[in-house]
Amino acid sequence: MTYPAALHRTIMTVDVAGYNHPDRTMAHLREVHDGLWRVLKGGFAETGIPWDVCFVENTGDGAMILLPPDIAKVDLVAQLPERMHADLRRHNAVHSAPAQIQLRLALHAGEVQSASHGSIGKAVNFTFRVLEAAEAKAAQKTTGAELAVLASDVFYQEVVLQDPAAAPAEYRRIPVHTKETSTIAWLRLLGGGPAGPPPDRDAVRCSAEPSAADRAMELTELLLDIPAVAEESSRRMLLKRLRPQIATVVAYHPQTRLHVLEIAGTCLRYRGGLAELVAAVQMLEPGSAPVQRLVDRVGNWPEESPS
């Protein structure tokens, strides 16, 4: 049996906040459902993205949309959010509270394969996990924002951050812990409560700086992609290449992920520890693609402490 090839697609998942709230009657749900699709189709049309070239799946309380590679990803963050936000305001202005709409929208990209009853792929699953980020739900509920846009870290770094029109400074970094997924994402809220005065550049830069816990978690994920780190015997060799001051305080754990997390967190606590860890990994597995991703991602991280 042969299967269709997996193709690189931009993935958008959308969810109506509080869709199943008990105050919504069947009539309200119908208005919300129809309004959702008007907002999506109208936003795509106004952005110049052809609706009929996308794979669209109704998820009941939202949608999954797969866009072909020739659609510019930057349009989804530089134009579409404002278009959708405007249509959401129009809808909410003429509907009672139970029929009003707040949307969350998540963006990612990756390999997707067609299956007998839809599309499958780890990238699709990951996008839905980002969409369910508890911190995004809480922020939208607190502010009343009509639209919450979530970008995966790779989407933020490679698309949002590369174009000022995408308003990268309006995003803030948030943790994502859903089911078996622990990662980070970037959140932008449109609408809701008063925004207050715009922050200066230094304040924006500080708000985007990851916490020590976020940095340890991200470093752990990068390390786990490297076979020489994921395998226990070579991980022992890695520890021997670290200075005793670091190696001797790394707590051992039989579960690979937790042990690597201990290594990452310990190295981050010591001045020069991150550089020392990266150098040791490069010696164990020189020139591999996962190692290069590690180097590219953490190369500009500042030292954490003078330990």
Which pLDDT score is estimated for 306? 46
CA atoms within 13 A on the CB side of 289: 0
Please give the average per-residue pLDDT across 241-252, as a whole number: 90
Residue 195: pLDDT band with limits 50, 70, 90:
very low
Can you give the pLDDT at residue 185? 92
For the chain, what are the domain ranges? 7-203, 218-298
Angle between helices 212-224 and 289-298 (to 10 degrees): 160
Q: Which of the two residues, 304 and 263, has the higher pLDDT score?
A: 263
Residues 67, 54: contact at Cβ < 8 Å? yes
Q: Is 75 helix (H, G, I), strand (E, B) or coil?
A: helix
Query: What's the pLDDT tens digit per position in 84-143?
Result: 999 999 999 999 999 999 999 999 998 887 765 666 678 888 999 999 999 999 999 999
Give 121's Cβ-side CA count (13 Å radius). 22
- Asked whether the predicted pLDDT for residue 281 surpasses 50, the reply is yes
Which of the pair, 218 or 300, is modelled with greater confidence?
218
* Secondary-structure percent of the chain, ordered helix, strand, coil, rounded to 5: 50, 20, 30
Task: Reply yes or no on domain 7-203 having CATH 3.20.20.60.
Answer: no
What dihedral angle (degrees, nearest 10) is formed by the CA atoms of 190, 50, 7, 151? -10
Compute, in degrees rounded to 10, the torsion defined by CA atoms 92, 93, 99, 100: 30
Read off the pLDDT of residues 140-161 as tens digits, 9 standing for 90 and up. Answer: 999 999 999 999 999 999 999 9
Chain segment 198-229, per-residue pLDDT in tens: 444 444 444 445 566 778 888 888 899 999 89
